[in-house]
Amino acid sequence: MGLYPKNLNEFVAGMGIPRGPLSKVYLVDPVNGSASNPGTSWQYPLLTVAAAYALCVADRHDVVLLLSGDTSDQPAAAINWSKDFTHLIGLGPEHYGVGLRSRMVGTAGNDLAQIITFSGTGCIVKNIQFFQGNDAAADSGAVIVSGSRNYFENVLFAGMGHATAGARAGSYSLKVTGSENTFKRCGIGLQTIVRAAANTELLMSGDPCYRNRFVDSEFLSWSVTAGKFLVKFDSTSSPWQTQFENCLFANLDQAAGGGDGASIDNAISDASVFKHHVILRGNLTIVGCTGVADVVTNIYASAPTPSVTAGLAVNPTT
């Protein structure tokens, strides 16, 4: 990319982020930043995302830039990103899913129930990893999206990054209660901590949580626990239509010690009592699961002849 423009606003304009007449940009550097800096130039970054977000004004298309580095941003308290049209962008190598280095981390010391809740509307979030490494004495997750019409691209939602959280049935990586959000090239879950309970990576919950869309995304877990799911629509959810396009559902069915373990039963659980459609579009691949869903009544696949095994990956024949 060459040298960064001297002006942060010029830099963001080149990234395709919407700009308005009053838009401001704040830079966060968890390594070299300072609480006393204004954050409005490359030379004087702020130290935390929370401090930068506090300076943002709703409906102005303000932007928070999080610089990648060896040190992550570690919020002392859960952040409620409630300001409409306020954006969060990571600066670093744009690894797809796992590996993103612009990181917000929930630590065991802070023990947050979730790192951040996106309750605003029209926000853009890109190139960020949310890693929940807490050992909370209650159910927890990485991120809650309760707002609507937000856009997430190349974001890793990694919950249950501690064995204690991974052993809780109510834990998750991403919980969506809002509507009409788009998730593109995202990773939901991780395969470095065993899920020792019947929990889920993506939890769809509440009314409304309709017309959400997941494109070119990966749903990841490491589990041999019966009743574990990669995606769960709970009984309170009102999905209307939820789309999964060209997505990978991959459970690592590895037992303790690295040996072969039992696959989980299904990739998707559908307990919603509302009439709805779960639409599986394009190329669907399911690994480490014996079935697509525990209830297929509202599941619609684009395969020429959909069946209960649609999308299930198999070993090639010799």
Structure confidence by residue, pLDDT tens digits, 190-240 = 999 999 999 999 999 998 899 999 999 999 999 999 999 999 999 999 999
User: Which has the closest alpha carbon to 231: 286, 282, 178?
Assistant: 286
pTM, to two decimals: 0.94
Token pair of 143, please? 């991120």
Burial class of residue 184, CB neighbours in 10 A (0-12, 13-18, 19+): middle
Mean pLDDT of the chain: 92
* 190 Cβ neighbours under 8 A, 6+ residues apart: 98, 156, 158, 159, 160, 161, 173, 220, 221, 222
Closest among 181, 222, 226, 177 to 201, alpha carbons compared: 222
SS in 3 state form for 55-105? HCCCCCCCEEEEECCCCCECCCCCEEECCCCCEEEEECCCCCCCCCCCEEE
Q: Are strands 218-222 and 187-189 parallel, antiparallel or unpaired?
A: parallel
Residue 117: per-residue pLDDT: 98
The pLDDT value given to residue 256:
76
Beta strand 174-176 with 151-153 is: unpaired
Residue in the structure block whose two tokens are 């041999």: 224
113-127, 255-269, 293-307: least confident range: 293-307
80-301 fold: Pectate Lyase C-like (2.160.20)
Rounded distance between C-alpha atoms, residue 241 and residue 247, angstroms: 16
* Residue 110, CA distances (Å) to 56, 74, 124, 143, 172 in order: 24, 8, 26, 15, 18
- Is the pLDDT at 116 greater than 80? The verdict is yes
Q: What is the mean pLDDT of residues 28-40?
A: 96
**In the predicted model, is pLDDT for residue 52 greater than 80?**
yes
Given a cut of 60, is residue 34 above it in pLDDT? yes
303 or 141, which is more confident = 141
The arithmetic mean of pLDDT across residues 139-148, rounded, is 96
Residue 1 has pLDDT above 50, yes or no: no
Domain ranges across the chain: 1-67, 80-301
Q: Is the pLDDT of residue 259 over 50?
A: yes
Give 106's DSSP letter: E
% of the chain with per-residue pLDDT over 90: 80
